[in-house]
Amino acid sequence: MHLKYESQLREPLVDGIKDYHQVTEDIVRPIEVKPSKLWYICFFISVAFLMFGVYSVYREVVYGIGQWNVNKTVGWGWDITNFVWWVGIGHAGTLISAILLLFRQGWRTGVNRAAEAMTIFAVMCAGQFPIFHMGRVWMAFFIFPYPNTRGPLWPNFNSPLLWDVFAISTYFTVSLLFWYSGLLPDFGTVRDRAKTKLRKKLYGILSFGWIGSTKHWQRHESLSLVLAGLATPLVLSVHTIVSMDFATSVIPGWHTTIFPPYFVAGAIFSGFAMTQTLLVVIRKVYGLEEYITMGHIEAMNKVIVLTGSIVGCAYLTELFMAWYSQNKYEGYAFWYSRANLFSPYGWAYWAMMSCNVLSPQIFWFRKMRRNLMVTFFMSVIVNVGMWFERFVIIVTSLYRDYLPSSWTVYYHPTIWEVGFYLGTFGLFFTCFFLFSKYFPVIAIAEIKYILKTTNEGFKAKVGGLEAQPVEEFAHDYAH
């Protein structure tokens, strides 16, 4: 019998032979060198998209929502579809940082920083839609419960849209705090390595005077746990509340009690897919394959196939309930407007079905889970599918609801609706490129924290122990 220092079932979380310095070098290096040409090209493309989005929104704000093709029957179209989509994407970050932290999942360390950044940027993008889908956005402040001279006149606390405001803003605040508190030790590291005055000053400010004292570490750990505790319910609550925008309504196809869990599962599903998309690129571009390992990729693919299947169950449950209730309005919404491939939006439903339910089943195979190309391709497919899910829910429910007289003409977006969406991509990637250039994309401190237990370098050092029989070790230890 031999001692086992390291799990034989789990593969290492950090590949290669690393010491603390090497870790710092690997992760901080991209921040300290000039960005590559590719970075500039990508960054400016992102900014161009952002500018197009700004112009699209400008048109909509100044000329009216009529710049879009939403109409008297389909009041929400691409705008709210994109809102729900972006919010959903954000969820993976919180799940990885908060819930996995509480569950002490070591593998989260490689990916949590980027995932959290993604959360924050995704929520920023999401927030644009409910704001700018308003006909009179300049009056948007009416939605806040502020004291006023009109009575005071409060917002309507019954409205799910108001709940959204609270849910999203809380979510954004907590996610930002969590992310930033995690960044403090790393900013300290970057500051300490800084060679120019400006960098020193800037990162000095950003690090909030982190000196790595035991007191700092102790407080940092406590804060992380507290924030993780706060963020955990948010993972469930935010998309639950978003789903209530629909679930509390009377529209067949929206009025569905299954929505909260189904939306949460869908959110995690799409969030993990988006994380995959980004990480597959980042690990390549910044040479971080040893920190974001195939093990990470595989773990996330497992989450994808799990949540994808939950979502699939929800789809089938909806169809079943629509039949089982024998409610003709529900029946029409689910069986005709959606499941019937030959109805006007049938293609969207089946695009959703094949992207979200059928294709992720490929991840039952280990080989596929560990295949980068497949992973990347699937991660994109999943987010396309999840976009269609929201589109299907919003548009196919509305366009043919209760009164056949109001059934509308085909809803398709105008260039300005598409432009708004592209603009949020611009915003997202502009932020993400800036983040990846100026912030450590992997949590250095946390990697160091797990390095002892998982890396080859340490394994080599203690390898002798494993060769020793237990009795011998016990004997040595006793003396």
Query: What is the contact surface with another protein in residues (CB under 8 A)?
Result: 59, 62-67, 69-76, 130, 133-137, 139-140, 142-143, 153-156, 158-162, 165, 245, 248-251, 326, 328-329, 331-332, 335-336, 340, 342-344, 398, 400-410
The residue (of 217 and 347) whose beta carbon lies closer to another protein is: 347
Report, in Å, the least distance between residue 143 CB and another protein.
5
The residue (of 251 and 422) whose beta carbon lies closer to another protein is: 251
SS (H, E, C) the chain: CECCCCCCCCCCCCCCCCCHHHHHHHHHHHHHCCCCHHHHHHHHHHHHHHHHHHHHHHHHHHHCHHHCCCCCCCCCCHHHHHHHHHHHHHHHHHHHHHHHHHCCCHHHHHCHHHHHHHHHHHHHHHHHHHHHCCCCHHHHHHHCCCCCCCCCCCCCCCCHHHHHHHHHHHHHHHHHHHHHHHHHHHHHHHHHHCCCHHHHHHHHHHCCCCCCCHHHHHHHHHHHHHHHHHHHHHHHHHHHHHHHHHHCCCCCCCCCCCHHHHHHHHHHHHHHHHHHHHHHHHHHHCCCCCCCCHHHHHHHHHHHHHHHHHHHHHHHHHHHHHHHCCCHHHHHHHHHHHCCCCCCCHHHHHHHHHHHHHHHHHHHCHHHHCCHHHHHHHHHHHHHHHHHHHHHHHHHHHHCCCCHHHCCCCCCCCHHHHHHHHHHHHHHHHHHHHHHHHCCCCCHHHHHHHHHHHCHHHHHHHHHHHHCEHHHHHHHHHC
* Widest CA span in the chain: 90
Report, in Å, the least distance between residue 127 CB and another protein.
14
The residue (of 105 and 249) whose beta carbon lies closer to another protein is: 249
The residue (of 137 and 362) whose beta carbon lies closer to another protein is: 137
Report, in Å, the least distance between residue 52 CB and another protein.
17
The residue (of 9 and 139) whose beta carbon lies closer to another protein is: 139
Report, in Å, the least distance between residue 85 CB and another protein.
18
d(CA 323, CA 172): 39
The residue (of 149 and 196) whose beta carbon lies closer to another protein is: 149
Report, in Å, the least distance between residue 55 CB and another protein.
14
Report, in Å, the least distance between residue 389 CB and another protein.
18
The residue (of 132 and 171) whose beta carbon lies closer to another protein is: 132
The residue (of 143 and 362) whose beta carbon lies closer to another protein is: 143
The residue (of 49 and 76) whose beta carbon lies closer to another protein is: 76
Report, in Å, the least distance between residue 71 CB and another protein.
3
Report, in Å, the least distance between residue 162 CB and another protein.
4
Report, in Å, the least distance between residue 259 CB and another protein.
15
The answer to whether 170 and 154 are in contact (CB under 8 A) is: no
Report, in Å, the least distance between residue 238 CB and another protein.
17
The residue (of 33 and 62) whose beta carbon lies closer to another protein is: 62
